[in-house]
Amino acid sequence: MSSPLDLGALRDAIEAIDEEILDALRRRMDLADDVARSKLANAAPLRDQRREDLLLRRIRTRAAEHKLDPHEVERIWRLVIDMSVARQQALVTRQDTTPLRVGYPGVEGSYSHLAARRLYAGRSGGVLLTGFDHSREVVEALRRGEQDLALLPIENTTAGSMNETYDLLAEGGVVITAELVSQVDHRLLGLPGAKLEGLREVLSHPQALAQCEAFLRDKLPWARAVPDVDTGGAAQKVRERNDPTVAAIASEIAAQRFGLEVLARELQPESDYTRFVEVGREATPLSPEAPCKTSLLMVLEHKPGTLGEMLQRLTLRGVNLSKLESRPIPGSPWQYRFYVDVEGHAASAPLTAALEDIRPLTSFLRVLGTYARAEGSHG
């Protein structure tokens, strides 16, 4: 009769195989870098859906030949493919000779433009910043592959959330890859020689008007607040209209850009910040040491107490929630989808377990992105 198997020796053998798998995965990622360089040289897209489908078909066949579950093996390979694409995307953004194409809502001098300059300044290879009239146009250009990244405002400490950005994220096809928190420093801009008492209209983005509501109410009650597509665009219109009764709320950079005069400063609370999110078509790798956040989109079952139960299950898993935002579901009156920001990586053990815990409470659940937490962001 043979002796019992040595459990320690078996575990040592498994760990040795794990090391072989990790080494093979590293070599595969190194090859992904070479593939990315070849694609850049040949102007080929980073993602080739037809090739991925052929690869997965071959993997299913080979898995069955090895007496492995082909569906489970396919699931693993899809993760490996996603890792490879993320690796290629990261390499492209690091290329010294490949300008990064970044879209943002607004014109030169808008707060989105200033945030983009701050985030990407000094990048080797340069950055091509492109302004669009609306956030939707930015995201659509990103989805079409005409932009590499989009930088979108998502919330402000005074005026609250930018609902359009949340709705665009819900439509899919993009993921959050980074965030930036930028202090807002509004100025009231007018034509040279214009006076506060002579103003009759103040143009700006609705969020900026909301941020400066107290100033407008107390200092300019006779002037009408007029919403515009963005702060920089409002400054541009003041210059084009050449009317001393019209002013704009925008940045000091916008005043310099369009030849306007600063009529007033300190228009909003000192601790006024806007949070921007960088959005891409693919996720990018994160350093394991980087403090990170994960954004989730979910639709909860329409039952009493479901929201409280979801929050409780996150708490029991030790997951810290930093933001909860609800938005109505188009075409479904009185039903809502929830945007949730939590601390941690979506692939971490606590968050993975928490997502499995709350999944039965949802009719829809998607990870919008895991990204490094910006300095000064809540959570």
Q: Which of 177, 274, 294, 362 is catalytic?
A: 274
Q: Which of 158, 177, 276, 362 is catalytic?
A: 276
Strands 201-204 and 246-250: parallel
CA gap 358, 340 in Å, rounded? 12
Query: 348 with 291: CB under 8 angstroms?
Result: no
Burial of 106 by CB count in 10 Å (0-12 exposed, 13-18 middle, 19+ buried)?
Answer: buried
For residue 255, give the H/E element and its range: helix 252-258
The CA dihedral of 281, 287, 293, 294, to the nearest 10 degrees, is 50
52 is in an annotated binding site: yes
Domain 187-264 = CATH 3.10.350.10: no
- Single pTM value for the model: 0.72
User: For residue 43, what pLDDT is reported?
Assistant: 43
Domain 12-94 = CATH 3.30.365.10: no
CATH superfamily of the 285-378 domain: ACT domain (3.30.70.260)
84 is in an annotated binding site: yes
Separation of CA 1 from chain center: 62
Each residue's pLDDT, cut to its tens digit, for the chain (379 residues) gives 445 678 888 899 999 999 999 999 999 999 988 887 776 665 455 666 667 877 898 999 999 999 999 999 999 999 999 999 888 878 776 766 667 888 999 877 788 888 988 888 777 666 778 889 899 999 999 999 999 999 999 998 877 788 899 999 999 999 999 999 988 889 999 999 999 999 999 999 888 898 899 999 999 999 999 998 888 889 989 998 999 999 999 988 889 888 899 999 988 877 788 899 999 999 888 876 789 999 999 999 888 899 999 999 999 999 999 999 998 888 888 888 999 999 999 988 899 999 999 999 999 999 999 999 887 565 4
217 is in an annotated binding site: no
48 is in an annotated binding site: yes
**Domain spans, the chain:** 12-94, 187-264, 285-378
User: For residue 114, what pLDDT is reported?
Assistant: 87
CA gap 206, 259 in Å, rounded? 23
User: For residue 279, what pLDDT is reported?
Assistant: 97
Residue 274 falls in the annotated catalytic set: yes
88 is in an annotated binding site: yes
User: For residue 1, what pLDDT is reported?
Assistant: 41
